[in-house]
């Protein structure tokens, strides 16, 4: 019999980060008392010695693996080797060492970047292998997709209980607003805020504005992760998303309107667009997890903008 969640010792890698901090809060709200959050200065999860030290010190029943080396298009272009190696090694070693030690369950976050560049829209989990990912983030996406391969292989051979979910682009309070490594929503918010403060007549954005993206509010994503913890023991990939897409041009206009920006947006077409479209099928999450996103896009954007203005 699996222990009830409040009685489990839980490791949350990346628990001090953007998504992880909300997962930790929701675990505590569920009554979980023993939550171990490894910090990279003490536990280098790219190194097997750091992974073994983590298991020695935490003695977990459950591992929720959210730690990642991640960033926007620019960061992915600068760090393809690092993003591939670090993300691959963290996940592979956490699963292998967990198997060796009889870990009861591991839940890992994959990435929407694992999908083929021209996957049919909406992206269905069965299309994960029908093509190569978009080139600028393929190393990161493939490293994360290997967790699904490992999860399925280890369940088949060893009966190891692991789950891999695939969240779409996340946004919300506590996101990374560093323009060198941030994703599109925090980058836009910061650029537009700077333009408003300076009275600048234009904001320059990457690409031509035509690609579409789907976004999931971070607290909804945390609920999806915990739904996988509490309700699912299988190795089928599961998308976590809102099921709605928006063009980058429309996203800029929406954020600009919410921030009372009256200037124009200029698109730097010398910069890459990234994947042409992103929209997920979320039927499997509804059917297997009993989960769906709850936060409207406008509500989530308002909360994110408010957080940035208070905390910048």
The predicted pLDDT at position 76 comes to: 86
What CATH architecture does domain 7-172+215-243+277-294 belong to?
3-Layer(aba) Sandwich (3.40)
* Mean pLDDT, all residues of the chain: 96
Name the pLDDT band for 70 (thresholds 50, 70, 90).
confident
The predicted pLDDT at position 32 comes to: 98
The predicted pLDDT at position 182 comes to: 87
pLDDT digits (tens, 9 = 90+) for 128-169: 999 999 999 999 999 999 999 999 999 999 999 999 999 999
176: Cβ contacts below 8 Å, ≥ 6 apart: 18, 71, 182, 183, 186
Q: Is 26 exposed, middle or buried (0-12, 13-18, 19+ CB in 10 A)?
A: middle
Q: Helices (H), strands (E): how many in the chain? A: 10, 11
This prediction's pTM: 0.95
Q: Which of 43, 55, 115, 140 is catalytic?
A: 140
Q: Tokens representing 283?
A: 């039927």
- Average pLDDT of the residues in 30-49: 97
- Average pLDDT of the residues in 274-285: 94
267 belongs to the catalytic site: no
Of 136 and 250, more confident? 250
The three-point CA angle 255-74-169 to 5° equals 50
As beta bridge partners, residue 188 has none
pLDDT digits (tens, 9 = 90+) for 72-130: 788 889 999 999 999 999 999 999 999 999 999 999 999 999 999 999 999 999 999 99
Domain ranges of the chain: 7-172+215-243+277-294
The Cα–Cα gap between 142 and 137 comes to 9
- Average pLDDT of the residues in 161-190: 95
């Amino acid at each position: 019999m699996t222990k009830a969640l409040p009685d489990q010792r839980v490791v949350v890698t990346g628990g001090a980060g953007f998504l992880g901090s909300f997962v930790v809060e929701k675990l505590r709200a569920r009554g979980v008392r023993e939550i171990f959050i490894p910090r990279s200065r003490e536990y280098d999860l790219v190194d097997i010695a750091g992974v073994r030290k983590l298991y020695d010190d935490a003695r977990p029943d459950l591992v929720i693996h959210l730690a990642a080396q991640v960033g926007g298009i620019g960061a992915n272009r600068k760090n393809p080797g690092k993003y591939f190696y670090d993300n691959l090694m963290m996940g592979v070693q956490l699963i292998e060492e967990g198997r060796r030690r009889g870990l009861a369950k591991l839940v890992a976050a994959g990435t929407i970047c694992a999908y083929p560049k021209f996957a049919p829209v909406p992206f269905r989990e069965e299309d994960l292998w029908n093509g190569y990912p978009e080139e600028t983030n393929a190393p990161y996406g493939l490293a994360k997709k290997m967790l699904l391969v490992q999860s399925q292989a280890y369940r088949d051979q060893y009966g190891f209980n692991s789950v891999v979910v695939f969240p779409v682009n996340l946004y919300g309070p506590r996101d990374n607003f560093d323009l060198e490594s941030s994703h599109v929503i925090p980058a836009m918010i910061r650029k537009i805020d700077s333009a408003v403060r300076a009275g600048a007549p234009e904001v320059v954005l990457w690409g031509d504005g035509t690609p579409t993206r789907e976004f999931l509010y971070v607290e909804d994503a945390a609920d999806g992760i915990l739904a996988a913890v509490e309700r699912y023991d299988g190795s089928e990939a599961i998308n976590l998303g809102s099921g709605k897409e928006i063009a980058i041009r429309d996203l800029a206009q929406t954020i600009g309107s919410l921030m009372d920006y009256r200037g124009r947006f200029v698109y730097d077409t010398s910069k890459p667009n990234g994947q042409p479209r992103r929209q997920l099928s979320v039927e499997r999450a509804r059917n297997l997890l009993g989960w769906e996103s709850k936060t409207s896009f406008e509500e989530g954007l308002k909360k994110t903008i408010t957080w940035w203005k208070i905390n910048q």
